[in-house]
C-alpha cells in the first residue's frame, strides 16, 4: 500500500470512531502539522446539529416502505464489518432500480461513514467490484448515505433531524459514548422516530456504543467504563448503571422487540469483558427464595433459569464481528448468523451467556458469587443461532464467579 493510501485508510478508520484522540490522530495523518503564526478568529455559533450527505439525498426512492420481518446488525466495535452493511441494504429491499437512504446517527464524530458505505474503493468509484474495507452501497442501489451528529436533547427534538431520520431505509448507530445517547436522545422525538421505524421493520444496526443501546437492558456507561475486575468485586459500584434505571420490564432507550430480555457488550474478548457481562446479567436476575434463603440481585426483574427468551441473557461480541439478527415471521423463532471481514486477523467470536441459577451473593460492597453460567460460542459463519430458544450452537463451557473471581480466567 502506498504512503498516501495508508494515510487515507487510517484517517477513515479513526474518523469512524468517535472521540477527540481518534479525530486528532486522523487529522494529523491527513495533514501533518506545520508551524504557523498565531491568528485570531471571531467565534462562530455552534450548530444545533451537523448533517452530511454523500450521493443524492433528494433522489426519488422506490424501496419498500416496510420489511416483512425485523432485521438488526449487532456489531462489536473495532474495524467495521463490510458484509454486515451490505446485509442491511439487502434486507431493506434496496436494489439498483429502487434507490434508498442509509442514515447514520451519532452524538459526536464526523461523516467518515458516508464514503465508506457509499463507494466501492479508494478511488471513490461506484463499481460493482467492491474492495476490502468498502461497502459499495451505491453499486447496490443506495441513493445516498447521510450522517447526523445529534449532540443534545434540543437537537434530538429538532423537526429537521427527525424528518431526515424518518425517511431512512436503513439506520445505523455509530460508536462513541452510549451515555451521550441516553442523556441526549432518551425521551425525545428522536426516540419516537426510531420506534416508528422499528414498527415498519426498517433495518437497524449499531456498533460499540451503538450496540449497547439496542437491548431491552442497556449498560449506560454514564460515568467511567466498568471493568470486569471491579464489576465482580462490587456488582453495585458507581460505574454500573443501567437503562432503564432502576431496572424494569419497560425496556431501555430503544429496546428492539425481537431482542427481549437481552443486554449486550462489545469489544468482548479484546477487553476481557466476560466478568463484567456476567455481572450485568446477574444484576438483572430477580431475587428468589430457595431453602429458606433469598438469592438473586436487589432490583432484578427476570428469572435466571427459564429456557427461551424470558430469562436474563447477554451477548458479548468481539471486535470486527457482526451478528445478523432477523425475524422469520409470526410464530417462528428469531435467528442470527455471524459475519466478519475476509481479511480479519481476529477470531471474531460471539458469546451467548445465560445463567442457570440465581446468584448466591449479589449485594453492594460485596464480591459477586454466581455459579454455572452457560456460555455458547459462535466463531464461524455457517451456524445459525436460534435466539428465541437459545439453541443452534453447542454449549462451549460453564463459567463461575466465586467471591469476585472468574473461573476459568481464560474463558476464551
Tell me: pLDDT of 22 over 70.
no
Q: When comparing pLDDT for 306 and 118, which is higher?
A: 118
- The confidence band for 12, taking pLDDT boundaries of 50, 70 and 90, is very low
Residues 6+ apart with CB under 8 A from 144: 53, 54, 55, 56, 57, 59, 101, 102, 118
- Dihedral over Cα of 163, 166, 167, 168: its sign: positive
Tell me: pLDDT of 348 over 80.
yes
Q: Which long-range contacts (CB under 8 A, 24 or more apart) does 393-401 make?
A: 393/352, 396/351, 398/356, 398/372, 398/373, 398/374, 399/274, 399/278, 399/373, 399/375, 400/370, 400/371, 400/372, 400/373, 401/232, 401/275, 401/278, 401/279, 401/282, 401/368, 401/369, 401/370, 401/371, 401/373
Tell me: pLDDT of 248 over 90.
no
Residue-wise pLDDT for 99-140, tens only, equals 999 999 999 999 999 999 999 999 999 999 999 999 999 999
Query: Taking the domains of the chain in order of start, what are their residue ranges?
Result: 56-202, 208-412
Site of grid cell 462489545 = 266
Residue 127 CB-density burial (10 A; 0-12 exposed, 13-18 middle, 19+ buried):
middle
Q: Which set of grid coordinates corresponds to residue 236?
A: 453495585
- Scored b (16 or more CB within 10 A) or e, 79-91 reads bbbbbbbbbbbbb
Share the mean pLDDT of the chain: 89
Residue-wise pLDDT for 187-203, tens only, equals 999 999 999 999 999 99
User: What distance in Å separates the CA atoms of residue 16 and residue 101, rounded to the nearest whole number?
Assistant: 19
- The confidence band for 153, taking pLDDT boundaries of 50, 70 and 90, is very high
Residues 6+ apart with CB under 8 A from 72: 203, 204, 205, 214, 256, 258, 259, 324, 325, 326
Backbone angles phi, psi at 183, to 5 degrees: -65, -45
Give the model's pLDDT for residue 305. Answer: 84
Which of 31-45, 135-149, 322-336 is predicted least confidently?
A: 31-45
Which of 9-18, 115-124, 141-150, 196-205 is predicted least confidently?
A: 9-18
Alpha helices in 240-365 (DSSP H): 274-284
Q: What angle do CA 237, 239, 240 make, to 5 degrees?
A: 75
The CA distances from residue 167 to 72, 73, 103, 150, 164, in Å, are: 18, 19, 9, 16, 6
Share of the chain above pLDDT 90, in %: 75
Share of the chain above pLDDT 70, in %: 89
Closest CA to 259 of 73, 64, 393, 76: 73
Q: Which set of grid coordinates corresponds to residue 41?
A: 478568529
User: What distance in Å separates the CA atoms of residue 263 and residue 270, rounded to the nearest whole number?
Assistant: 19
Q: Tell me the sheet residues that pair with 361.
A: 369
Amino acid at each position: 500500500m502506498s504512503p498516501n493510501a495508508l494515510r487515507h485508510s487510517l484517517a477513515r478508520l479513526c474518523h469512524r470512531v468517535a472521540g477527540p484522540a481518534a479525530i486528532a490522530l486522523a487529522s494529523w495523518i491527513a495533514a501533518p502539522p506545520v508551524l504557523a503564526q498565531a491568528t485570531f478568529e471571531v467565534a462562530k455559533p455552534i450548530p444545533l446539529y451537523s448533517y452530511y450527505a454523500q450521493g443524492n439525498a433528494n433522489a426519488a426512492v422506490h424501496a419498500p416502505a416496510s420489511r416483512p420481518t425485523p432485521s438488526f446488525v449487532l456489531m462489536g466495535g473495532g474495524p467495521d464489518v463490510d458484509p454486515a452493511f451490505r446485509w442491511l441494504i439487502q434486507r431493506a429491499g434496496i436494489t439498483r432500480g429502487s434507490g434508498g437512504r442509509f442514515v447514520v446517527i451519532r452524538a459526536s464524530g464526523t461523516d467518515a461513514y458516508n464514503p465508506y458505505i457509499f463507494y466501492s474503493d479508494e478511488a471513490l468509484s461506484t463499481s460493482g467490484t467492491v474492495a476490502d474495507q468498502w461497502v459499495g452501497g451505491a453499486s447496490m442501489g443506495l441513493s445516498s448515505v447521510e450522517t447526523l451528529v445529534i449532540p443534545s436533547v434540543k437537537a434530538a427534538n429538532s423537526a429537521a433531524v427527525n424528518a431526515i431520520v424518518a425517511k431512512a431505509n436503513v439506520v445505523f448507530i455509530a460508536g462513541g459514548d452510549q451515555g451521550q445517547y441516553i442523556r441526549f436522545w432518551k425521551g425525545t422525538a428522536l426516540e419516537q422516530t426510531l420506534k416508528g421505524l422499528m414498527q415498519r421493520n426498517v433495518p437497524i444496526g449499531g456498533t460499540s456504543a451503538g450496540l449497547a443501546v439496542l437491548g431491552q437492558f442497556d449498560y449506560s456507561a454514564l460515568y467511567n467504563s466498568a471493568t470486569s475486575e471491579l464489576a465482580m468485586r462490587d456488582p453495585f459500584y458507581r460505574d454500573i448503571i443501567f437503562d432503564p434505571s432502576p431496572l424494569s420490564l419497560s425496556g431501555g432507550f430503544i429496546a428492539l422487540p425481537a431482542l427481549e430480555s437481552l443486554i449486550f457488550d462489545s469489544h468482548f474478548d479484546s477487553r476481557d469483558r466476560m466478568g463484567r457481562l456476567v455481572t450485568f446479567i446477574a444484576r438483572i436476575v430477580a431475587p428468589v427464595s430457595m431453602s429458606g434463603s433469598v438469592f438473586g440481585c436487589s432490583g432484578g426483574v427476570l428469572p435466571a433459569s427459564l429456557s427461551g427468551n424470558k430469562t436474563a441473557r447477554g451477548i458479548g461480541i468481539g471486535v470486527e464481528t457482526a451478528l445478523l439478527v432477523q425475524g422469520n415471521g409470526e410464530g417462528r423463532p428469531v435467528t442470527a448468523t455471524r459475519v466478519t471481514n475476509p481479511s480479519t486477523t481476529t477470531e471474531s467470536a460471539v458469546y451467548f451467556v445465560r445463567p442457570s441459577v440465581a446468584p448466591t451473593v449479589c449485594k453492594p460492597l460485596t464480591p459477586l458469587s454466581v455459579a454455572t453460567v452457560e456460555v455458547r460460542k459462535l466463531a464461524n459463519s455457517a451456524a445459525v443461532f436460534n435466539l428465541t430458544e437459545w439453541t443452534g450452537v453447542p454449549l462451549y463451557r460453564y463459567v463461575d464467579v466465586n467471591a469476585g473471581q472468574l473461573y476459568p480466567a481464560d474463558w476464551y
